[in-house]
A and B are shown apart, each in its own frame.
Chain A
Amino acid sequence: MSFLSKGDGVGDDGRYIIDEKIGQGGMQEVFRALDDKLRRSVALKVPLNQKAARRFKDSAVISAKVNHPNVAKTLDYFEDETDRFYLVEELVEGLNLRQIAKHFERLDPHAVAHVLHHLARGLAASHDAGVVHRDLKPSNILIAGGLAFEAVKITDFGIAKMAEGEIGDAVSGGEESTLSSMTVRGALPYMAPEVIDDPHTPSPPADVWAIAAISWELLSGFPPFGTGLKAVSAILNEPSPALPTEPASHPQFGPLTEAIGKILSGCFDKKPADRPTAEELAGLCDGLCYLPVVRDVGRVNAYIAPSLGFILSDEGEEVFFHTQNVVGTKPGLGTKVWYSQFEGKPHPRAIPVVPMVFDPDAEA
């Protein structure tokens, strides 16, 4: 149970008024709060326990050094009379990338190119400021607007520093402690080999590996080196994985998928020094051609031919699509889909069309 509840005011003159809890990680709780002075909504973070609190301020100071549109901005930090610590961050209303990915078998390469490009830019600015993230995973990447995909923001810089003790203990402690640690289990598929060898030495190339692994997973539907403890040996020993055949050979999406795959494979070099830097990675992404990622959600409501169908958007508009523009399995009638919409007559055209395997409307 949290010591904070709706309506509580914290900070000078109770400046930040708690609205509701919007998230909890292994280390901290996150609330939506109203900054009464500047009248804006913010994310207010508090450490979960005293052990985490020790490093809480360090992590705040680290994240505050980064100033980039693709990094959630640190707005304020303070401690109150009762020795409680608070970090105030830009509020990113939406979903994290883990929650986004849960909706789909895999994402289309246009969305992946967009995510990778923005992550690389945010990371390049962070590394430039001397800040290494060290715990990049889908749940630390926020997508403003959720499925509307308005902006990509990295968060929880410096939280790795809070978790440092835990990761170190777990990796050296073998299977039992590793699997019992939520923090490690979430981060393992994205860990670079040198991090597994020595979790205490943070390095920028490990962040590059991590965003490449995240992008590879979005593109393929599963992490490049597997999950759980099997991932450890694969990360350490196996060569850079080839993308699955289906997305890479797709007539519509294959060329872009392959272009992304080529960039990613360079990021999985076992030797950290041989990977592109975040800046170089961003430069490679500057050359990728992709469609603007402005997305809508709708439901397949008719097929007029085996390969031609209609989507009824959540706004009630009929949108035409061709099955060659579908990512993965052809969606059956009634399936929820995620798509970008382009001008057309008599109906707009949807491309790409990404079937949703998890229907948010059907939940609860």
Chain B
Amino acid sequence: MKRYVPTGKTAFGGIGSVVVCKDKNLDRKVVIKSVQEGVEHRRLLDELAALQRIRSKHVVQIFDADFFGPRNEMGIVEEFIEGEGLETLLGTVSSGEDFLRLLYQASAGIADIHDVGIVHRDIKPSNMLVSQEGILKIIDFNLSRNEDEANTFDFVGTRGYAAPEQYSGGRVTFTTAVDVYALGVTAWALLHGEDLPKELRSEPPQPDVWKERSEGFLSLQLDPELAQLLNDCVSSLPTDRPAAAQVRDRAARLILKDRHRALVLGTAQPFELHAGNRLVRVSHTLGNLTIEYDGLDFRATSVSGEVWVNNMRMEAGAVISGCRVIALGSPTRRASQRIFLTMDVSHPEVVL
């Protein structure tokens, strides 16, 4: 194959050799990752085909697979991403928006992988690249070896990032929860650098001991709900860990802090609630309502009289999300006696 010409550079991460090549057909750089000897080619192609089902902005694209070099090794041709491995950013990220954007993308990519029933099995900072545009992509799926090897104890994963159950030996069926564990550790490393706490480095790791000692993410200046989710990611029991999508959704919400708007129609004048106008009181003989925007949610902070939202009685403290119909006057009254308002919450879209 003379189509791919090595540039002499090697690329980030991964097991086996990873070489940057020039694709002469398209005059662009690609990455060719050779697969260890002993891999059954048919099986590898099966796995590559499975990866094609993933639809994600945050997972590396595979172009081709073929035999290369003097030893005729199987290689996977992937997109070349101009950028840096996430491991170069460890410890340099503060807990603000940069952290949230990286966490959002990593958890979105993992959620997309899990959506099609695939487990990555080796999530860690050096298996994530951040392009010049700031788009994070997950690389290097831990493809399985041949059947014989899978039957023996064969630790796959990376110390510090591998979940406790990956150390249990023998035939273990890993669930998506191993990736969620690694996501949690990756988040910690982003904020604190590559030197992980000793309980996480031990083999197998003892995350519950670590959290007992240090409170984990709850000790940081983070949104309490996100800190709790990340602490739950780093749990000893797989069933205690959240889905990657939960981390993604919370991170997205925090990125949009103070940027939501709610348009209220049906009053004498339409009005909007947003960061510059956080409170509205609606007063009427049928009922009274105060809505406040705290930067993340629109909440009914006080309710009295007959106030209904989507045909259910509104309770004080309720969060109003999406597009709602608020009624003053209970549904037992005639429609003409009731006052109807609509409240529609919108927010900017996170487009990377």
| CB-defined contacts of A124 to chain B, threshold 8 Å | 133
**Contact A255 B272, beta carbon cutoff 8 Å:** yes
**Contact B259 A289, beta carbon cutoff 8 Å:** yes
| CB-defined contacts of B206 to chain A, threshold 8 Å | none
| CB-defined contacts of A345 to chain B, threshold 8 Å | 310-312
Tell me the complex Cα distance, A67–B64, Å. 17
| CB-defined contacts of A325 to chain B, threshold 8 Å | 342
With known contacts A37-B64, A68-B133, A322-B342, A286–B323 Cβ distance under 8 A: no
With known contacts A38-B49, A78-B25, A342-B322, A351–B132 Cβ distance under 8 A: no
Q: A125 at the A/B interface (Cβ < 8 Å)? A: yes
With known contacts A344-B310, A345-B311, A73–B61 Cβ distance under 8 A: yes
Q: B325 at the A/B interface (Cβ < 8 Å)? A: yes
Q: B260 at the A/B interface (Cβ < 8 Å)? A: yes
| 0/1 string, B16-34, CB within 8 A of A gives 1 | 0000000001111000000
With known contacts A121-B351, A252-B265, A289-B259, A39–B52 Cβ distance under 8 A: yes
**Contact A114 B349, beta carbon cutoff 8 Å:** yes
Q: For residue A120, give the distance in angstroms from its CB to the closest CB of chain B.
A: 8
| CB-defined contacts of B349 to chain A, threshold 8 Å | 113-114, 117, 288, 290, 292
**Contact B62 A65, beta carbon cutoff 8 Å:** no
Of B28, B63, B263, which is within 8 A of A61 by CB?
B28
With known contacts A39-B52, A69-B57, A290–B263 Cβ distance under 8 A: no
B interface SS class: mixed
| CB-defined contacts of A333 to chain B, threshold 8 Å | none
| CB-defined contacts of A182 to chain B, threshold 8 Å | none
Of A37, A65, A118, A288, which is within 8 A of B28 by CB?
A65
Q: For residue A287, give the distance in angstroms from its CB to the closest CB of chain B.
A: 6
| CB-defined contacts of A69 to chain B, threshold 8 Å | 57, 135, 352
Tell me the complex Cα distance, A121–B311, Å. 40
Tell me the complex Cα distance, A40–B352, Å. 26
- CB nearest neighbor in B for A279: B133
**Contact B265 A251, beta carbon cutoff 8 Å:** yes
| CB-defined contacts of B175 to chain A, threshold 8 Å | none
Tell me the complex Cα distance, A346–B52, Å. 40
Q: For residue B138, give the distance in angstroms from its CB to the closest CB of chain A.
A: 14
**Interface size on A (CB < 8 Å)?**
51
| 0/1 string, A284-307, CB within 8 A of B gives 1 | 011111111000000000000100
Of B49, B133, B325, B351, which is within 8 A of A117 by CB?
B351
| CB-defined contacts of B346 to chain A, threshold 8 Å | 110, 256, 289-291
Q: For residue B315, give the distance in angstroms from its CB to the closest CB of chain A.
A: 15
Tell me the complex Cα distance, A125–B260, Å. 26
**Contact A128 B133, beta carbon cutoff 8 Å:** yes
With known contacts A38-B52, A61-B26, A346–B311 Cβ distance under 8 A: yes
Q: A74 at the A/B interface (Cβ < 8 Å)? A: yes
| CB-defined contacts of B352 to chain A, threshold 8 Å | 69, 121
Q: B79 at the A/B interface (Cβ < 8 Å)? A: yes
| CB-defined contacts of B79 to chain A, threshold 8 Å | 67, 73
Q: A242 at the A/B interface (Cβ < 8 Å)? A: no
Greatest chain A CB density within 10 A among B79, B261, B324, B344 is at B344
**Contact B65 A37, beta carbon cutoff 8 Å:** yes
Tell me the complex Cα distance, A39–B26, Å. 22
Q: For residue A324, give the distance in angstroms from its CB to the closest CB of chain B.
A: 7
Q: B131 at the A/B interface (Cβ < 8 Å)? A: yes
Q: A315 at the A/B interface (Cβ < 8 Å)? A: no
With known contacts A322-B342, A345-B310, A345-B311, A286–B133 Cβ distance under 8 A: no
Greatest chain A CB density within 10 A among B312, B335, B351 is at B351
| CB-defined contacts of B272 to chain A, threshold 8 Å | 255
With known contacts A117-B349, A255-B263, A291-B344, A77–B25 Cβ distance under 8 A: yes
Tell me the complex Cα distance, A290–B347, Å. 5
Q: A349 at the A/B interface (Cβ < 8 Å)? A: yes
Of B49, B64, B65, which is within 8 A of A76 by CB?
B64
Sample of 9 further A-B pairs with CB below 8 A, known A39-B49, A286-B348: A61-B26, A67-B81, A68-B133, A68-B135, A77-B25, A113-B349, A124-B133, A342-B322, A342-B324
In the assembled complex, 22 residue pairs joining A and B whose CB atoms fall closer than 8 Å, in A order, are A37-B45, A38-B49, A38-B65, A39-B52, A60-B26, A65-B28, A67-B131, A68-B133, A76-B26, A76-B63, A110-B346, A117-B349, A117-B351, A118-B351, A252-B263, A255-B272, A256-B346, A285-B351, A343-B322, A344-B310, A344-B311, A349-B323
